């Protein structure tokens, strides 16, 4: 880069004697840093892009590590998105409005008692090694999950209710159920090729990351993967819905979000989603940029404050050490009444989120629920203080509330050290609850899983991405999801176990009528809200950005105000159209950079003068 040359020049003229060399170097380093980080010193962003062989490559900046490339183990957003791209599912969701559309299955029907489901498998889908994808592959996938515990790790909840899965012909798949199950057209399970996977011994350990390219039948084929470095996929020219427009799709790792944004500015990547999203400051500065489009859409995530309900295992044994005062519903509700959701939206998310209400985000309008006015826990710190008084948490002489054990109440709040929003909201909680006389200790950890699974927390920042079918996010609060013994790991999110909620859950799962089912789901949300163990503070937006000189168009999901990264389906990357490599002179240079460079030059020049004078002075001294 040309800054290096400038640095060299400065050094030659400056000739710093010993101990000042460091300062000079620091000044120069600051200059390089400003220039390098904050951007386009090399004005022509690389185009999308015809590498030498004319391949069109779409590069996406990601930060999340891949937990596993095996569809039987992967649960993280990036890994499951990759599986969407490389394997077909029986059904898919329409990108416009999330309704169920054909995937590997072209049509499906159920017997009158709704216990036998027959799927017709398409005959125009081929595995990338040339073999035909058949109903036999699907039957084998489901049977494996039903019989092998290791294969049920990620998606076991879908097959828990299956009695028998058979493939009477290559195009016909029959699933027999024990009880009716409403998620039969939303089985989010990647179908894998039997002839490849039947050679696997231990499904709980096999990560599918040794033999490339990985045999699949999705719109892309995984060709290469290096952990925390890149994931490379090439387009599947024979994909039945039509080949993707880009020849190659690369997920490249940028563990630092600032670096990812700079890479977008320079054109090294075409798309940045951020983890979990771009910060308000980054979004605002990218908005003014030429050739960059910022997509700010309602997200599919909720962001909640989970309260430890006195964690227990299925066998009734107590786990962890949640604060006993939180078992009182008045205390939980009082705490949430002292949380100013509006301030969180305005200050922390700076408008890039929607105020929290029910458990399921408003984007899924059929399941979205709002508390009634007399049920709603509105922001009211005075009322919260009264409720705490009633619950028996009286203030002592120092103004701190004391529990039944006579000790001042201090809650441990588990927070993700990697999520800036957790820390920011944690600061607010400390002040809001501090005014009530309740102490808060933020426990920000890189790995919150260990204390979380052990139930060693009082409150915790929590959040899930919700699928068009809400079954999964509802299932994680049932008693059935609790760990069997304190030593086991359950699917439970927050150790909630409520009889009424469980009854409603079973009822909705067996309800095939969409309106009636939605009604029951709303009742579940209402119950969850009243319990006060899952307090939804906000629904964060998906704030992401891409280069319009590299991507001409891309599908958002839902079509109106939808997100691009982490969709339920492969729509965004499959539909992305490369931009023509026209000329795009980039003369925009942000003021900050100019100021930074000027400041750097001034500092170095000043230092040069100072040193020159000093040299003279020391020379005089020596004489």
Partner 1 sequence: MTTTENGTTKQQAEQVPVAVRPRALAWRRRRASVARFWRQYRTHRAGLFGLGALLLFALLALTAPLLVGSDVDNVTDAPGGPLEEPSAEFPFGTDRFGRNLLGLVIWGARVSLLVGLLAAVLSVAIGTLIGVTAGHFKGWYATVMMRITDWFLVMPTLVLAIALATVMPRSLLTIIVAIGVTTWPTTARLVRAQTLAVETRPYIERARALGGGHWHIMSRHVLPNVMPLVLAQTTLIISAAILAEATLAFLGLSDPSVVSWGALLQDAREAGAVSSGHWWYLVPPGVAIAVVALAFTLCGRAVEQVLNPRLGVSR
**Distance, first Cα to last Cα, the chain:** 43
Question: How many residues bind partner 1, per CB under 8 A?
Answer: 46
Choosing from 186, 442, 509, 604, the residue that interacts with partner 1 (CB under 8 A) is 442
619 binds partner 1 (CB under 8 A): no
Closest distance to partner 1 from the beta carbon of 108 (Å): 46
- The residue (of 280 and 403) whose beta carbon lies closer to partner 1 is 280
- The residue (of 75 and 281) whose beta carbon lies closer to partner 1 is 281
Closest distance to partner 1 from the beta carbon of 81 (Å): 23
Q: Which of 413, 371, 357 minimizes the C-alpha distance to 539?
A: 357
412 binds partner 1 (CB under 8 A): no
278 binds partner 1 (CB under 8 A): yes
CA distances from 263 to 40, 256, 546 (A): 10, 11, 11
- Angstrom distance (rounded) from CA 181 to CA 511: 7
Closest distance to partner 1 from the beta carbon of 493 (Å): 24
- Angstrom distance (rounded) from CA 590 to CA 92: 43
Count how many residues are written for the chain.
623
613 binds partner 1 (CB under 8 A): no
Which of 139-147, 441-449, 478-486, 559-567 is the region at the interface with partner 1 (rule: CB under 8 A)?
441-449
Decide if 154 contacts 72 (C-beta within 8 A): yes
Choosing from 561, 595, 609, 612, the residue that interacts with partner 1 (CB under 8 A) is 595
Q: Which of 39, 40, 30, 37 minimizes the C-alpha distance to 6?
A: 30
293 binds partner 1 (CB under 8 A): no
313 binds partner 1 (CB under 8 A): no
598 binds partner 1 (CB under 8 A): no
25 binds partner 1 (CB under 8 A): no
Decide if 567 contacts 95 (C-beta within 8 A): yes
* Cis before 575? omega within 30: no
- Angstrom distance (rounded) from CA 544 to CA 297: 9
Which of 231-239, 398-406, 424-432, 481-489 is the region at the interface with partner 1 (rule: CB under 8 A)?
424-432
Helix boundaries (H) for 391-441: 420-436
172-177 and 116-121 strand pairing: antiparallel
Which of 102-110, 305-313, 421-429, 488-496 is the region at the interface with partner 1 (rule: CB under 8 A)?
421-429
Q: Which of 582, 607, 602, 608 minimizes the C-alpha distance to 47?
A: 582
- The residue with tokens 């054909």 is 102
In the structure encoding, which two tokens stand for residue 209, read together? 């990351």
Closest distance to partner 1 from the beta carbon of 37 (Å): 5
38 binds partner 1 (CB under 8 A): yes
Residue 351: its H or E element: none
- The residue (of 188 and 289) whose beta carbon lies closer to partner 1 is 289
- The residue (of 14 and 426) whose beta carbon lies closer to partner 1 is 426
Decide if 408 contacts 400 (C-beta within 8 A): yes
Q: Which of 302, 320, 300, 324 minimizes the C-alpha distance to 312?
A: 320
Closest distance to partner 1 from the beta carbon of 285 (Å): 4
- Angstrom distance (rounded) from CA 228 to CA 509: 38
431 binds partner 1 (CB under 8 A): yes
382 binds partner 1 (CB under 8 A): no
Query: 480 to 519, contacts with partner 1 by CB under 8 A?
Result: none
Closest distance to partner 1 from the beta carbon of 348 (Å): 8
270 binds partner 1 (CB under 8 A): no
CA distances from 12 to 189, 216, 494, 549, 579 (A): 64, 59, 63, 41, 45
Residue 585, Cβ density class (10 Å: 0-12 exposed, 13-18 middle, ≥19 buried): exposed
- The residue (of 257 and 333) whose beta carbon lies closer to partner 1 is 257
- Angstrom distance (rounded) from CA 82 to CA 80: 5
- The residue (of 73 and 294) whose beta carbon lies closer to partner 1 is 294
Closest distance to partner 1 from the beta carbon of 417 (Å): 5
370 binds partner 1 (CB under 8 A): no
Choosing from 1, 51, 75, 284, the residue that interacts with partner 1 (CB under 8 A) is 284
Instruction: Collect all residues with Cβ–Cβ distance below 8 Å to 481 and sequence separation of at least 6.
Output: 475, 490, 491, 492, 493
- The residue (of 36 and 156) whose beta carbon lies closer to partner 1 is 36
Using the Cα atoms of residue 24, residue 30, residue 32 and residue 35 in order, give the sign of their dihedral.
negative
Instruction: Collect all residues with Cβ–Cβ distance below 8 Å to 359 and sequence separation of at least 6.
Output: 302, 304, 369, 473, 474, 524, 525, 528, 529, 534, 536
Closest distance to partner 1 from the beta carbon of 591 (Å): 7
258 binds partner 1 (CB under 8 A): yes
Which of 151-159, 425-433, 551-559, 565-573 is the region at the interface with partner 1 (rule: CB under 8 A)?
425-433
424 binds partner 1 (CB under 8 A): yes
Residues that bind partner 1 (CB under 8 A): 19, 23, 26, 34, 37-38, 256-259, 261-262, 265, 278-282, 284-286, 343, 347, 350, 415, 417, 420, 423-424, 426-428, 430-432, 442-444, 446, 590-593, 595-596, 621
């Amino acid at each position: 880069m040309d800054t290096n040359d400038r640095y060299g020049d400065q050094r030659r003229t400056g000739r710093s004697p010993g101990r000042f060399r460091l300062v000079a170097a620091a000044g120069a380093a600051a200059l390089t840093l400003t220039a390098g980080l904050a951007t386009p010193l090399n004005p022509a962003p690389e185009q999308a892009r015809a590498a030498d062989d004319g391949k069109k490559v779409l590069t996406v900046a990601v930060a999340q590590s891949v937990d596993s490339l095996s569809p039987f183990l992967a649960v993280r957003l990036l890994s499951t998105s990759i599986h969407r791209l490389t394997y077909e599912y029986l059904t898919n969701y329409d990108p416009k409005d999330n309704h169920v559309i054909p995937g590997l299955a072209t049509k499906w029907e159920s017997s009158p008692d709704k216990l036998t489901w027959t799927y017709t498998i398409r005959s125009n889908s081929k595995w990338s090694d040339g073999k035909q994808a058949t109903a036999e592959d699907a039957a084998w996938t489901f049977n494996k999950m039903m019989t092998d515990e290791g294969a049920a790790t990620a998606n076991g909840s879908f097959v828990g209710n299956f009695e028998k899965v058979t493939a009477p012909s290559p195009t016909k798949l029959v699933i027999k159920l024990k009880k009716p199950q409403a998620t039969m057209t939303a089985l989010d399970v990647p179908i894998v090729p039997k002839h490849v996977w039947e050679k696997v011994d231990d499904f709980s350990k096999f990560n599918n990351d040794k033999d490339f390219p990985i045999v699949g039948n999705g719109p892309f084929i995984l060709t290469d993967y290096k952990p925390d470095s890149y994931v490379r996929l090439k387009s599947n020219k024979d994909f039945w819905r039509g080949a993707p427009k880009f020849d190659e799709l690369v997920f490249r790792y940028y563990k630092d979000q600032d670096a990812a944004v700079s890479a977008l500015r320079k054109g090294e990547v075409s798309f940045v989603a951020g983890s979990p999203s771009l910060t308000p400051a980054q979004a605002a500065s990218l908005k003014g940029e030429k050739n960059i489009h910022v997509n700010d859409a309602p997200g599919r995530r909720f962001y909640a404050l989970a309260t430890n309900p006195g964690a227990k295992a299925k066998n009734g044994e107590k786990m962890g050490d949640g604060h006993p005062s939180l078992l009182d519903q008045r205390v939980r509700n009082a705490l949430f009444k002292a949380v100013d959701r509006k301030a969180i939206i305005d200050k922390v998310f700076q408008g890039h989120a929607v105020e929290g209400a029910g458990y399921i985000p408003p984007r899924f309008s059929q399941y979205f629920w709002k508390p009634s006015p007399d049920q709603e826990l509105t922001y009211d710190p005075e009322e919260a203080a009264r409720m705490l008084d009633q619950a028996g948490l009286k203030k002592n002489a120092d103004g701190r509330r004391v529990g039944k054990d006579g000790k001042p109440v201090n809650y441990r709040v588990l927070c993700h050290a990697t999520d800036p929003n957790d820390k920011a909201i944690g600061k607010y909680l400390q002040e809001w609850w501090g005014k009530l006389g309740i102490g808060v200790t933020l426990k920000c950890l890189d790995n919150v899983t260990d204390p979380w699974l052990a139930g060693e927390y009082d409150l915790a920042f929590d959040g899930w991405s919700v699928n068009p079918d809400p079954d999964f996010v509802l299932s994680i609060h049932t008693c059935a999801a609790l760990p069997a013994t304190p030593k086991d790991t359950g699917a439970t999110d927050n150790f909630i176990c409520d009889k009424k909620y469980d009854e409603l859950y079973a009822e909705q799962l067996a309800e095939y009528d969409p309106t009636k089912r939605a009604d029951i789901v709303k009742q579940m949300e209402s119950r969850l809200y009243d319990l006060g163990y899952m307090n939804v503070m906000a629904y964060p937006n998906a704030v992401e950005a891409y280069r319009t000189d590299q991507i001409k168009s891309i599908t958002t999901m839902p079509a109106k105000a939808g997100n691009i990264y982490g969709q339920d389906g492969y729509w965004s990357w499959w539909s992305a159209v490369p931009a023509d490599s026209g000329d795009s002179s980039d003369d925009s240079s942000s003021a900050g950079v100019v100021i930074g460079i000027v400041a750097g030059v001034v500092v170095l020049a000043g230092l040069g003068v100072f040193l020159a004078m000093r040299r003279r002075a020391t020379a005089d001294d020596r004489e």
